[in-house]
Structure 1
Amino acid sequence: MGLRTKIGVAITATAALVAVIMGLVVHHRTALTQLDTARDSIDSRLGAAVEDHAAGFDRPRTLINPDRIPGPLRKAIDRGRRATYLDRSGPEPTLWAGSRLGNDVIVLKHPYTRQMRNLQDLDEILWLAGGLGTAFACVVGVGLATVAGRRLNASARTAERIAHGDLTARLRPRGGQDEIARLTVAVNTMADALAARLQAEREVTSNIAHELRTPVAGLVAAAALLPPGRPADMVRERARRLSGLMEDVLEVARLDGSAEHAETDVRALGELTRRAVRATAVPDGAVVDVRVVRDSLVDTDGRRVERILANLVTNAFRHGAAPVVAEVDGGVVRIRDSGPGFPPRLLRSGPQRFRTGSGSGLGLGLTIAAGQARVLGARLAFANPEGGGAEAVLDLTSAVREGGPGPDGSP
């Protein structure tokens, strides 16, 4: 049950309860007032009838020593009291009044039907008013709940957009200074603080990489001048890795900005996949099985596509296990390995820099691949298919051109 329904039900139930209570109170008070008025009237007439009987004159509707008197009224008269009694036992309600004068019992009775009908008419009016009031409260409650629900849903959708990386998402404050308006301000403040923090992090990362670029280049050049030998090979290998890491950090910083644009041309996706696999550094003796199920021409940035596929293949060997398969099917490329699969966090939230599920590396390879895919307008998805392993899917279907490559793979 949604919040709108809960608020609507609560307001409607409250209005209905108030209507019932008010109806019962009005009914009870009206019945008492009506009965008191009728009793005062018949009691006044009884007093006059007693005086007339004492004077030897009896009015036409005065009953003297009647055979039938309601039991409670007779008991009161026998105790010497002048009393009234509303008898509901007959087909028509009747109001009785009686008193004793010497050995005689003087009794008056008056139909109470009109008063009961008036009370029934009042009950019908109360039920109608209560129903209309409850319906109106229901409409107002649902309207208020709808407005509040829309504002809360807008806050939730904006928070979800921020959580998925859209740091430009903001809410427009509405509603004065109520609690939802405070929530809106809090969400916007959180988004501003998060955007500022991430921007500062990106700037620091980019600045550090830029500052290290010259020293690292000098280190690589100096390592190349070392005399041959295992220590020199180790230094050169570490220097190359440090240089590659620095370039990856700079690329992530560029992709975080909005200055990157794709330079497109028409290429055969199968050939792009083969080029990317050939350019990837794979472990000794390892081979990537490239399968072209159905080739296609894509209007895209070939350099960026190769970068994405190379990173996916490298990640498959680094965190997965052989055999690794690259399959081209139309505008889709699938990279599969036989390892333990992607961690649940990555499947849930996507790749994040400086965080990997295996505990090794900096998580830049998949982050770069996802960033390049965004620049291309392509879709990059990660899954753990049945049977084990991990599968990364690069979907370039939107860039596929009509007509496929020739038999030799050329356009």
Structure 2
Amino acid sequence: MGLRSKLGLIFVLVSSLAILVLCVAVYGQAQRSREDRIRGFADERIRSAAETYDLNDVLLFGSRLDDPDLPPQLRDSVLSGKRATFRTGSPNAKMWAAVGVKDGQILSIAQDYDVKDPSMTALRRALIIGGIGTVGLVVLASVVAAGSLSRRIVAVAGTARRIAAGDLDASAAAAAGKGHDEVQALATALDTMASSLRGQLEAERRFTADVAHDLRTPVTGLLTAAELLPPGRPSELVRDRAKVLRRLVEDLLEIARFDSGVEQADLEHVGLGAFVGSAVGRLRMQQSLAPDSVVVHRVGREETISTDSRRIERILANLIVNGLRHGKPPIEVTVNGRTIEVVDHGNGYPEELIAEGPRRFRSGMAERGVGHGLGLTIAAGHAKVLGAELTFGTALSGGACARLVLPESP
């Protein structure tokens, strides 16, 4: 049940209860007022009848002496020296009035007390119709009020999802509309959080770009100096670590370009199946891979799309290298229409990566090896530039499965 339905139901229940209590109170008060009027009328008649009887021995208004049907409660009150009234219950309800007269006798008058009084029936009908009408108006007003509140909360939730998707310039306060209530306070807090997050991300982006840029020159000099070292195992280790450091710096620079939002795709028409086959062939040569370490499968007809082939090759290379480094060969690359799947036969991606996507400097589970976690981050960055969808999951065989779905139009 949504917030609108819950609020509407609460309003209806509370208002219905309040109207019911009010109607019962009004009807009860009307009943008491009617009884008081009849009781006062009976008391006035018995007083007049007693005065006339004491003076002239004449019975007025149908009064009777020592009526055997006189209620015992009323008889006791009169014998104690009081003039009293008493109403008997249904059926045949009557309003009795009695008083003591001369010679110790009791003079009494009894008149019918009509429980089904037309005026009370009309009042009851009016209260029921008015109560139902009021509940209907309350329902309408509650639906409008709850709908307005629900729309504002849904708008704030939509803005929160946009912020979570990366649109840190989205304003929750603007989506919540004008007001000074709790929804506006929540929206303001959300905007404050987004502003703080935006500042942190900008500081992180600048730090990454500055560090990578400042390291580029000394790393290049280090690599040049390493090439001048005499042959030997120590020299090979130094040159290998220097190359790793250079790749790290290049990756950081590439991530900094993604963070700045300046990357754009160079579009060209590409036959996807043939291109993936040639790209995997080039990767085998560059990485000196065995022919059976990476296998390409083409399913269905060849699809020609407009995309950036360089970025697709970069995504493929990062996914395949990640599979070879952290999984087990063979790496199976399947092209089906506009979809490319890269599957290894290792232990699979960690649940955290599948749920949240890749993060820089997080290499995943220990059993998948060590690393800086930048390869998948860069692949996701290129996919975003292409407008493609890159998701990570588990293959049917249990290994890691990365699926790249390219858009129909760039």
TM-score by length of 1: 0.90
Residues of 2 paired with 1:397 and 1:320: CA distance? 28
Task: Identify if the C-alpha distance between structure 1 residues 296 and 242 changes in structure 2 by more than 3 Å, giving closer, same or farther.
Answer: same
Counting only pairs closer than 5 Å after superposition, residues 209-220 of structure 1 correspond to structure 2 as 209-220=212-223
Contact 1:300 1:376 in 2 (8 A): yes
Question: Deviation at 1:267?
Answer: 1.7
Residues of 1 paired with 2:41 and 2:100: CA distance? 18
Q: Indicate the residue corresponding to 2:247 in structure 1.
A: 244
Counting only pairs closer than 5 Å after superposition, residues 116-155 of structure 1 correspond to structure 2 as 116-155=117-156
Counting only pairs closer than 5 Å after superposition, residues 257-268 of structure 1 correspond to structure 2 as 257-268=260-271
Query: Quick one: which amino acid aligns to residue 344 of structure 1?
Result: E
Task: Identify if the C-alpha distance between structure 1 residues 278 and 284 changes in structure 2 by more than 3 Å, giving closer, same or farther.
Answer: closer
Contact 2:159 2:170 in 1 (8 A): yes
Find out whether 1:368 has 2:378 as its counterpart: yes
After superposition, give the CA deviation of every residue in 1:38-76 in whole Å (9 maximum; x if it has no partner).
211211111110111122222252233434333433343
After superposition, give the CA deviation of every residue in 1:299-322 in whole Å (9 maximum; x if it has no partner).
111111100111110111122111
Question: Deviation at 1:2?
Answer: 2.5
RMSD: 2.2
Find out whether 1:335 has 2:342 as its counterpart: yes
Q: 1:254 aligns with which of 257, 271, 274?
A: 257
Q: How many residues align?
A: 399
Task: Identify the range of structure 1 (199-208 vs 164-173) with the bigger mean alpha-carbon deviation.
Answer: 164-173
Question: Deviation at 1:329?
Answer: 1.5
Contact 1:274 1:290 in 2 (8 A): yes
Q: Which runs of 5 or more residues in structure 1 are unaligned?
A: 401-411
Residues of 1 paired with 2:53 and 2:179: CA distance? 78
Find out whether 1:345 has 2:352 as its counterpart: yes
Residues of 2 paired with 1:253 and 1:211: CA distance? 13
Find out whether 1:17 has 2:17 as its counterpart: yes
Task: Identify if the C-alpha distance between structure 1 residues 60 and 301 changes in structure 2 by more than 3 Å, giving closer, same or farther.
Answer: closer
Task: Identify the range of structure 1 (186-195 vs 284-293) with the bigger mean alpha-carbon deviation.
Answer: 284-293
Find out whether 1:384 has 2:394 as its counterpart: yes
After superposition, give the CA deviation of every residue in 1:71-110 in whole Å (9 maximum; x if it has no partner).
433343344432211123334x321112232244322222
After superposition, give the CA deviation of every residue in 1:324-365 in whole Å (9 maximum; x if it has no partner).
111112221111001111111111111122223125222211
Query: Quick one: which amino acid aligns to residue 152 of structure 1?
Result: I
Find out whether 1:274 has 2:277 as its counterpart: yes
Q: Indicate the residue corresponding to 1:288 in structure 2.
A: 294
What SS class does the counterpart of residue 159 from structure 1 fall into? helix
Task: Identify if the C-alpha distance between structure 1 residues 262 and 125 changes in structure 2 by more than 3 Å, giving closer, same or farther.
Answer: same
Structure scoring higher RCO (CA < 8 A, sep ≥ 6) equals: 1
Residues of 2 paired with 1:319 and 1:129: CA distance? 75
Question: Deviation at 1:197?
Answer: 0.8
What SS class does the counterpart of residue 82 from structure 2 fall into? coil
Counting only pairs closer than 5 Å after superposition, residues 315-330 of structure 1 correspond to structure 2 as 315-330=322-337
Question: Deviation at 1:399?
Answer: 4.7
After superposition, give the CA deviation of every residue in 1:153-173 in whole Å (9 maximum; x if it has no partner).
222222222223222222205
What SS class does the counterpart of residue 328 from structure 2 fall into? coil
Q: Indicate the residue corresponding to 1:156 in structure 2.
A: 157
Question: Deviation at 1:187?
Answer: 0.6
Residues of 1 paired with 2:244 and 2:389: CA distance? 29
Residues of 2 paired with 1:111 and 1:376: CA distance? 93
Residues of 1 paired with 2:189 and 2:314: CA distance? 40
TM-score by length of 2: 0.90
Find out whether 1:176 has 2:179 as its counterpart: yes
Question: Deviation at 1:283?
Answer: 7.5
Task: Identify the range of structure 1 (107-116 vs 10-19) with the bigger mean alpha-carbon deviation.
Answer: 107-116
Q: Which runs of 5 or more residues in structure 2 are unaligned?
A: none
After superposition, give the CA deviation of every residue in 1:351-407 in whole Å (9 maximum; x if it has no partner).
12222312522221111111111111112121112330011111125159xxxxxxx
After superposition, give the CA deviation of every residue in 1:237-292 in whole Å (9 maximum; x if it has no partner).
11111111111111111112222111111122123212332343658646201112
Residues of 1 paired with 2:361 and 2:164: CA distance? 18
Contact 2:387 2:407 in 1 (8 A): no
Find out whether 1:395 has 2:410 as its counterpart: no
Residues of 2 paired with 1:265 and 1:164: CA distance? 28
Q: Indicate the residue corresponding to 1:406 in structure 2.
A: none
Residues of 2 paired with 1:168 and 1:356: CA distance? 30
Residues of 1 paired with 2:83 and 2:345: CA distance? 105
Q: 2:205 aligns with which of 187, 202, 217?
A: 202
Contact 2:31 2:120 in 1 (8 A): yes
Q: What fraction of aligned residue pairs are identical, expressed as a percent? A: 37
Q: 2:311 aligns with which of 304, 325, 330?
A: 304
Contact 1:219 1:239 in 2 (8 A): yes
Residues of 2 paired with 1:239 and 1:114: CA distance? 105
Q: Indicate the residue corresponding to 1:230 in structure 2.
A: 233
